[in-house]
Structure formats: C-alpha cells, structure tokens
Amino acid sequence: PHEQAPCLVEVGARCHGNGGYFVPTVDRCLGYNQVRATVDCYFDPTAFASLPPFPGKLLAHGCEVPLVSYDEGVIETCPGVNAVASLASFQCAYWSVGVGSRLVRTIDVFTKPCSVWLLHASKNVMEADVKRLRKLERNRGLWTVQGEAVGMCPPPPPY
C-alpha cells in the first residue's frame, strides 16, 4: 500500500451496547468506564487526561453471563429467579421472559432469556457462581416449561 493512501483501522472500540448494562460492573471493576471516558474526552479534558493509559489492577471481578435455554414452550414457573438472586456475586439480572411468556431455544444473543451480571472481590467466588448458573441451565432449574419442544436440545455435559 502507498503511504499516502487511506487506511482503515479497526479497533473494536464501540461501547458494549445492550442498554449500557455493563457500566456499573465496569465501574466497580476498574473505577471508570468507556462511556464516561468518551463523554469526558469531549466535555471534560482534565478528567479524561487523569485516566490511566492502560487498565490497572482490578478492584473487583465481574462478568455478564447470558443464560441459555435448551427448551421451547410457555413458562409455567421461574424458580431460577430466586436461585440467581441468591448467588454470592449477584449484581443484577435482566430477564426477557417470565411466567406465561413464550420461551424459545437460545440460538444467538437475541434469544437469550436473561443476562446475569456478577461482581465480587474474589475471582473464585464469581467463577463458582458462573458454574452454578450453567448447572441450573443444564438441570433445567431456571424455569419449568409446557410445550412440545421441552427437552428437544440436550444440554452440554458439565465442565
């Protein structure tokens, strides 16, 4: 390529999206977040200049766990709501389904029934809670479903 020619550089720097649900978790883990940094870049250069050039030591450990549905049908009960909220690292959950709503088998990010946000000072506690969530999925402990497609997609083996 010629040095004077235009060059496209992809850096994957857009904000996460999804309603900004990530902001509180990232704030607690790093002490700042991409959205605030972008606003400060334009409107508060002093605050922007005070940000570290690279992320430092984590203040906490956090992650999003998109839940997976292996079944389809109408949700009869949601015992998983309380089970999820009782996790040691639980921060919040954004459920897109509930009793009486139609549950579809998860095939992509748009068909996830819930996003659970975990946050804890201990990485081990957070990771154990991720495993608990995956076990609830495998054992079909998040909801009970009535429909023809119940159990149509077997869950993966435990990891």
| Structural domains of the chain sorted by starting position, each given as residue range(s) with its CATH number in brackets | 1-59 (no CATH), 60-153 (3.90.1170)
pLDDT at site 5 = 81
Question: What is the pTM for the complete model shown?
Answer: 0.81
Question: Hey, what's the torsion of the CAs at 9, 108, 18, 56, to 10 degrees?
Answer: -60
- Average per-residue pLDDT for the chain: 89
pLDDT band (50, 70, 90) for residue 15: confident
Q: Partners of 77 in the beta sheet?
A: 144
pLDDT at site 150 = 57
pLDDT at site 122 = 98
94's CB contacts (< 8 A; 6+ apart) are: 19, 21, 114, 115, 117
pLDDT band (50, 70, 90) for residue 65: very high
User: Is the per-residue pLDDT at 106 higher than 90?
Assistant: yes
Counting every residue written for the chain, the total comes to 159
